[in-house]
Amino acid sequence: MYSTTEENYLKTIYKLQIQLGTFINTNAIADGVNTKAASVTDMMKKLSEKKLLSYEKYKGVQLTEKGKKVAIETLRKHRLWETFLHNQLGFTWDAVHDIAEQLEHIQSNELVEKLDAFLGFPTHDPHGDPIPGRNGVIKESNFILLSVLQKGEKGIISGVVNHSSLFLQHLEKNKLTLGKTIAINEVSSFDLSVKAILDGKEKIQLSNEVVKNILIKKLI
Amino acid sequence: MYSTTEENYLKTIYKLQIQLGTFINTNAIADGVNTKAASVTDMMKKLSEKKLLSYEKYKGVQLTEKGKKVAIETLRKHRLWETFLHNQLGFTWDAVHDIAEQLEHIQSNELVEKLDAFLGFPTHDPHGDPIPGRNGVIKESNFILLSVLQKGEKGIISGVVNHSSLFLQHLEKNKLTLGKTIAINEVSSFDLSVKAILDGKEKIQLSNEVVKNILIKKLI
DNA sequence: CTAAATTTTTAGACTAGCCTAAAAATATTT
DNA sequence: AAATATTTTTAGGCTAGTCTAAAAATTTAG
Ligand SMILES: [Mn+2]
Ligand SMILES: [Mn+2]
Ligand SMILES: [Mn+2]
Ligand SMILES: [Mn+2]
């Protein structure tokens, strides 16, 4: 139905709309799809022509319901495939994104639904991001930043803000994976680094750069 | 490394080489990749430039070792994905081909190897076709046509000649699936249709059109 | 409120892959 | 051995998607 390129544009715009509000500017899109502003302008005209978004010169861009639907379907496929790669094939969480970036464009509704069932209708992908349902509904999780936890509080690692391989590998190496419990012992008022207990056993120390990129579900 | 289009050309030429001999002509390729002869000539120049095949004007085309390697890798991926779709996701054998036609172009060696392991290193796809190994070796199976069996002989259904959805659905509907045993009771000398026993139980009647498109492993 | 900086759009060009129509080469008949 | 038919190649053109450089619009600063 839509090309790989079109789906990538729509998915990127959708994600930008979530984090930045409604009107998305050309440069942000160019950055997101890894191309130049001139190419984005071209594509915006085409997508607007196809009623996937509304575009007004110099004013930015906004997805229509139709465009949002395609974006969410693509996101759904991406996250289901990431889950497959991680849970079934044993890929580490830093390796799944690039492959899912290709797999998300395979066209077959039957495949998506069968994959979903095969995986047991997962609600979150390996990075803790919510997987949109068949109906297109996304249950946004109310995770909070680990950096807002105070001394004495604890939570379960449930997601990440930064999705880069470098960061994910760093977490993996330090056993900071989804499901682990972190209890804050002390927050340095000098560099905001944190001393904590991992899973009630191990003493660990985390830089502010790390704690502000981990999402947790607060306990009690 | 190579585009979807290039991989499709190479895979098609490889299959033609298997069934027709070494030099493959333009029209056969055009037919295989569903395009026009003029487009094939263009592409042959490009693939020849990249040393994937040898091309001499008006003389036809032949894969190099390099080209053969790419073709076999693509065939390996195609058949592994078909196996995944059938064995794990429960797709019927007539539905897997079109989706595998897309999946075979996903680029990741690690994915192929992990998928292979996940599937238990299968040797044949859902149509009975052999799956090339990681080394690129294909164990050609010595299946024979059901139509060569004589009265009193029997065999196990192990593959198909015709891969069309229509034929596969017909077989499915008549429970003529891989692994079933067929014992010949009688061959009509009028229309070459066959009376047989399926799995030692059920009496069946098969047209010549059907028996000459089923491959079996002969018993005793 | 004008001037400078930034962002966005246009203009023109490129590649991959495809097409049609015509020309050239090869194969088949007579 | 011509004549005819078929196959293949060339020529020229199309679309999707990309780029650079220049022009136009908008935003920010003085
Ligand atoms: Mn991802
Ligand atoms: Mn993810
Ligand atoms: Mn197939
Ligand atoms: Mn097959």
pLDDT tens-digit map of A159-189: 999 999 999 999 999 999 999 999 999 999 9
Owner of token pair 């399926």: B198
Q: Where are the beta strands (DSSP E) in A35-95?
A: 53-56, 60-63
**Which positions on chain C have an atom < 7 Å from some protein CB?**
7-12, 16-22, 25-26
Structure confidence by residue, pLDDT tens digits, A141-156: 999 999 999 999 999 9
Q: How far is the CA of B5 from the C1' of C16 (A)?
A: 10
Chain mean pLDDT for chain B: 97
Please state the rounded mean pLDDT for residues A116-122: 98
B165 near A CB under 8 A: no
How far away, in angstroms, is A125 Cα from ligand 2 center?
6
Residue B191 backbone dihedrals phi, psi, to 5 degrees: -120, 10
Confidence of residue B204 (pLDDT cuts 50, 70, 90): very high
Q: Which of B167, B209, B211, B168 is nearest to B186 (CA)?
A: B211
pLDDT at res. B53: 98
Please state the rounded mean pLDDT for residues A116-134: 98
Which of A77, A87, A103, A165 is most worth mutating to test chain B (most B CB atoms within 10 A of its CB)?
A: A103
pLDDT at res. A80: 98
User: Vertex B76, ends B2 and B12: CA angle to 5°?
Assistant: 60
User: Vertex B161, ends B155 and B166: CA angle to 5°?
Assistant: 110
The whole-angstrom separation of Cα A145 and Cα A208 is: 11
pLDDT at res. B140: 87
% of chain A surpassing 70 pLDDT: 100
Closest nucleotide to B61's CA, by C1' atom? D8
Residues of A in contact with B111 (CB under 8 A): 85, 89, 99
A85 near B CB under 8 A: yes
CB A57 within 8 A of CB A74: no
Please state the rounded mean pLDDT for residues B113-133: 98
Residue B24 backbone dihedrals phi, psi, to 5 degrees: -105, 130
Count of CB contacts below 8 A, A vs B?
Answer: 37
As a three-state string, the secondary structure of chain B is CCCHHHHHHHHHHHHHHHHHCCCECHHHHHHHHCCCHHHHHHHHHHHHHCCCEEEECCCEEEECHHHHHHHHHHHHHHHHHHHHHHHHCCCCCCCHHHHHHHHCCCCCHHHHHHHHHHCCCCCECCCCCECCCCCCCCCCCCCEEHHHCCCCCEEEEEEECCCCHHHHHHHHHCCCCCCCEEEEEEECCCCCCEEEEECCCEEEEECHHHHCCEEEEEEC
Sheet with A154-160, edge to edge strand ranges: A144-145, A214-219, A154-160, A181-187, A194-198, A202-206
pLDDT at res. B220: 79
CB B193 within 8 A of CB B205: yes
Residues of B in contact with A85 (CB under 8 A): 111
**Which positions on chain D have an atom < 7 Å from some protein CB?**
7-12, 16-22, 25-26
Residues of B in contact with A108 (CB under 8 A): 98-99, 102
Q: Which of A126, A141, A140, A9 is nearest to A71 (CA)?
A: A9
Q: How far is B30 from chain A (nearest CA, A)?
A: 24
Structure confidence by residue, pLDDT tens digits, B129-180: 999 999 999 998 999 999 999 999 999 999 999 999 999 999 999 999 999 9
pLDDT at res. A204: 96
Checking phi first, is residue B154 left (phi over 0); if not, alpha (psi -120 to 50) or beta? beta
CB B200 within 8 A of CB B181: yes
Closest nucleotide to A9's CA, by C1' atom? D17
Give residue A168's Cα distance to chain centre.
Answer: 13
Q: How far is A34 from chain B (nearest CA, A)?
A: 19
Query: DSSP class of residue A188?
Result: -
B75 near A CB under 8 A: no
A139 near B CB under 8 A: no
Structure confidence by residue, pLDDT tens digits, A190-217: 999 999 999 999 999 999 999 999 999 9
CA distances to A19, A108, B95, B171 from B164, in Å: 48, 19, 10, 11
Q: How far is A10 from chain B (nearest CA, A)?
A: 21
| SS3 assignment, position A23 | coil
Confidence of residue A22 (pLDDT cuts 50, 70, 90): confident
Please state the rounded mean pLDDT for residues B92-112: 98
CB A89 within 8 A of CB B116: no
pLDDT at res. A193: 96
Q: Which of A85, A102, A81 is nearest to A93 (CA)?
A: A85
pLDDT at res. A140: 87
Q: Which amino acid is at B21?
A: G
Owner of token pair 């904590």: A196
Answer yes or no: is pLDDT of A220 > 90. no
Query: DSSP class of residue A220?
Result: -
Closest nucleotide to B46's CA, by C1' atom? C16
B58-90 per-residue burial string, b: 16 or more CB within 10 A, e: under 16: eebbbbeeebbebbbbbbbbbbbbbbbbbebbe
Q: How far is B94 from chain A (nearest CA, A)?
A: 14
A197 near B CB under 8 A: no
| SS3 assignment, position A169 | helix
Q: Which ligand is nearest to the CA of B86?
A: 4
CB B45 within 8 A of CB B55: yes
Burial degree of A44 (CB within 10 A; 0-12, 13-18, 19+) = buried
Q: Which ligand is nearest to the CA of A101?
A: 1
pLDDT at res. B159: 98
Please state the rounded mean pLDDT for residues B8-37: 96
Residues of B in contact with A98 (CB under 8 A): 108
Q: How many CA atoms are closer than 13 Å to the CA of B37, on its beta-carbon side?
A: 8
The whole-angstrom separation of Cα A205 and Cα A155 is: 16
% of chain B surpassing 70 pLDDT: 100
Structure confidence by residue, pLDDT tens digits, A49-96: 999 999 999 999 999 999 999 999 999 999 999 999 999 999 999 999
Bridge partners of residue A170, in order along the sequence: none
